[in-house]
A and B are shown apart, each in its own frame.
Chain A
Amino acid sequence: MSVVQNKKYRDRQKRKDAVISLFIGIFAFIWLVPILWTFWTSLRPYEDIIQEGVFSRPDTLNFANYVDAYRQMEIWGYLSNSFLVAIPAVILTLFFGSLLAFVVTRYSFRFNLYLLLLFTAGNLLPVQLVYAPLFKMYIWFGDLVGNRNILYDSYIGLILIHVALQVGFATFVMSSYMKTIPKEISESALVDGASVFRHYWSVILPLLRPPLAALSVLMTTWIYNEFFWAIVMIKSDSKRPITSALGRLQGEFVTDFNLLAAGAIMAALPTLIIFFILKRQFVSGLTLGSTKG
């Protein structure tokens, strides 16, 4: 009897699922429209649209706007600024995060939990609470050492604030991962009388490869996409990362929107490529932090 009921249930469910799938599919298409439209705009010459309207059948479709955007907007310079900031920031964040995670999970100091709490809370603070005094501190420190641009308007200053904010999240993710590693693994190192540094470097660090991979993908996109600190701490246009430069380019090329579309697509490409190639790492990085394994 249950077999018959089961079949009936399954049939009904199948029909329902088809409808749901169709519905979500239609929405998925709507979801893509803005991106497809931007891409479509980026492939057409400006004159075409002005003369024949946006919906006209295109006479020409090519990547000329990309070449122009690359030249006129100096996209490459901004892109390399982004990487000059993001890559060292991610490496430093992960390094510091792994150090802290190692200490708080392998040694039972009394302050461990409080340290972890403060770091995680610091990561969640509204950035607006931090920026004005930090800005002053950067200027002040610059004047103190005789070079105003040592932290303010420099990659170093931008990298350090990213590291300072993100290290809490990295520590949190890696320490929850390390709690799943049995303590016995550390024992052999301790029996051998290995130093704390060797214990970290040769025993723990190699084990942290999965969260390190996940976090590096996630944090690269985060820092690459970051906007607030880049507009606050970088004054020179030539040092701006791409996301904050887009704000200015948008004003300058406001009428030439095909060029702007090409620029926006190029700015989005690195994160899109990272996402499609390393989707698994990306997703696990995000979920490691939020659901604790």
Chain B
Amino acid sequence: MTTTAAGPRTRRRRAFSKGDRFTLAMFIGIPSFLHFVWVWIPALLTIGLSFTFWNGVQLSNIRWAGLANYETIFTASPQFYDALRNNVYWLLWFSFIATPLGVLLAYQIDRRIRGHKIYESVYYIPVVLSLAVIGIIWRFMLGPAGLVQVLLGRPGIEEALPIFGNYDINTYVILSIASWRHIGYIMLLYLAGLKAVDPTLREAAAIDGATEWQTFRKVVLPAMKPVNIIIIVITVIESLRAFDLIYIIYGTSTGWPILGMLVFTNIYGQAASMLGAAYAVILFLLSITPIVFYLRTVFQDDKP
């Protein structure tokens, strides 16, 4: 055993031929060039620009602003707090309602209840739809002459109740629509994790008289730790990234502001400031923690 293990190691340490060195450089170099120039360099530039005033036209017009953009956001932009509040609502709703429902669904479907195959597919359908299509589909449900309007007794186009424009309920409506998709996504991820849990563990717990809830909490949940972390991270990142659905429902208007939209609407406007870049940096700072958690979870076996 030792000889076979040592064999390839010494051989791999051999000097590469010129051709091989070139091939390896290309194999790493081309994808890395693309990734760094397209993703990391713009990201760093945004961070830099968030400390400047710039109208986005000529490079010579860039002026140092220090923290002025951030100050504007924190002290003079009520929109920012509205958006932050909506992102927090989104996060809370996903964390305490949508994600647990997806987990519960996965748990029940994994027990192979009658019809589990069909249910799995049905709950998963919204996940493969684009958010643009989802936005249109829900307009048919809630918008003028939509199914919900008919059920509320207002079938005509003129007499329709404004649902997306009603500030008392639109938060719940938007979050429900987002959950329609999120629940299936979480269900699928969790289902895959559950398949890896030894089924005899659960049976043993059940025969010992453990209730369903106890089995889930004491047997299944601890066995699923890596999947749990990934699901939490995905929930947080998705809540911060939210953009498409809001764009398709409200366009760039501020009907329901969220951080992702504020970056988009403020990037080159607002009296040649770089407010949008500062919003993007705030979004980035909020995303760092979940990203680091994710990386730590998936790379925990690879520590050098």
- Taking the closest CB of chain A, its distance from the CB of B33, in whole angstroms, is 9
Q: How far, in angstroms, from A266 to B206 measured CA to CA in the complex?
A: 47
**A residues near B291, Cβ cutoff 8 Å:** 121, 124-125
**A residues near B91, Cβ cutoff 8 Å:** none
Q: Indicate if B49 sits at the interface (CB-CB under 8 A).
A: yes
**B residues near A181, Cβ cutoff 8 Å:** none
Q: How far, in angstroms, from A192 to B34 measured CA to CA in the complex?
A: 33
- Taking the closest CB of chain A, its distance from the CB of B123, in whole angstroms, is 6
Contact B244 A132 (CB under 8 A): no
Contact B49 A133 (CB under 8 A): yes
Which of chain B's residues 125-147 have a Cβ closer than 8 Å to chain A? 125-126, 128-133, 135-141, 145, 147
**B residues near A247, Cβ cutoff 8 Å:** 132, 247-248, 251
Residue of chain A at shortest CB distance from B131:
A227
Contact A161 B38 (CB under 8 A): yes
Binds B, one of A33-41, A62-70, A142-150, A205-213: A33-41
Q: Indicate if A167 sits at the interface (CB-CB under 8 A).
A: yes
Q: Indicate if A115 sits at the interface (CB-CB under 8 A).
A: yes
Evaluate whether A130 and B192 lie within 8 angstroms (CB atoms) in the complex, with A54-B155, A264-B137 already known: no
Q: Indicate if B222 sits at the interface (CB-CB under 8 A).
A: no
Contact B241 A126 (CB under 8 A): yes
Which of chain A's residues 1-43 have a Cβ closer than 8 Å to chain B? 2, 5-6, 9, 13, 16-18, 20-21, 24-25, 28, 31-35, 37-38, 41
**A residues near B123, Cβ cutoff 8 Å:** 28, 31
**A residues near B150, Cβ cutoff 8 Å:** 53-55
The A-B contact count (CB < 8 A) is 293
Q: Indicate if A84 sits at the interface (CB-CB under 8 A).
A: no
Contact A99 B38 (CB under 8 A): no
Of the candidates A17, A25, A160, A164, the one having the most CB atoms from chain B within 10 angstroms of its own CB is: A164
| Contacting residue for B40 out of A118, A171, A246, CB 8 A | A118
How many positions in chain B have a CB within 8 Å of any CB in the partner chain? 105
Q: Indicate if B243 sits at the interface (CB-CB under 8 A).
A: yes
Q: Indicate if A203 sits at the interface (CB-CB under 8 A).
A: no
Evaluate whether A128 and B264 lie within 8 angstroms (CB atoms) in the complex, with A25-B115, A37-B147 already known: yes
Q: How far, in angstroms, from A129 to B180 measured CA to CA in the complex?
A: 27
Contacts A130-B38, A292-B226 aside, 17 further interface pairs with beta carbons under 8 A come to A2-B207, A17-B114, A25-B115, A37-B140, A37-B147, A55-B155, A120-B299, A130-B46, A132-B46, A161-B38, A246-B132, A246-B133, A257-B145, A267-B130, A272-B125, A287-B192, A290-B227
Sort A-B residue pairs by CB-CB distance and give the 8 closest, nearest first.
A164-B38, A225-B130, A287-B192, A96-B31, A133-B45, A133-B42, A128-B263, A134-B42
B residues with a Cβ closer than 8 A to A are 4, 7-8, 11-12, 16-17, 19-20, 23-24, 27-28, 30-32, 34-35, 37-43, 45-47, 49, 56, 105, 108-109, 111, 113-115, 118-119, 121-126, 128-133, 135-141, 145, 147, 150, 155, 157, 180, 188-189, 192-193, 196, 206-207, 212, 226-227, 230, 234, 237, 240-241, 243-244, 247-248, 251, 260, 263-264, 267-268, 276-277, 279-281, 283-284, 287, 290-291, 294-295, 298-299, 302, 304
A residues with a Cβ closer than 8 A to B are 2, 5-6, 9, 13, 16-18, 20-21, 24-25, 28, 31-35, 37-38, 41, 49, 53-55, 96-97, 99-100, 102-103, 107-108, 110, 113, 115-122, 124-134, 136-137, 160-161, 163-165, 167-168, 171-172, 183-184, 186-187, 190, 195-197, 200, 221, 224-228, 231, 243-244, 246-247, 250, 255, 257, 260-261, 264, 267-268, 271-272, 274-276, 279, 282-283, 286-287, 290-292
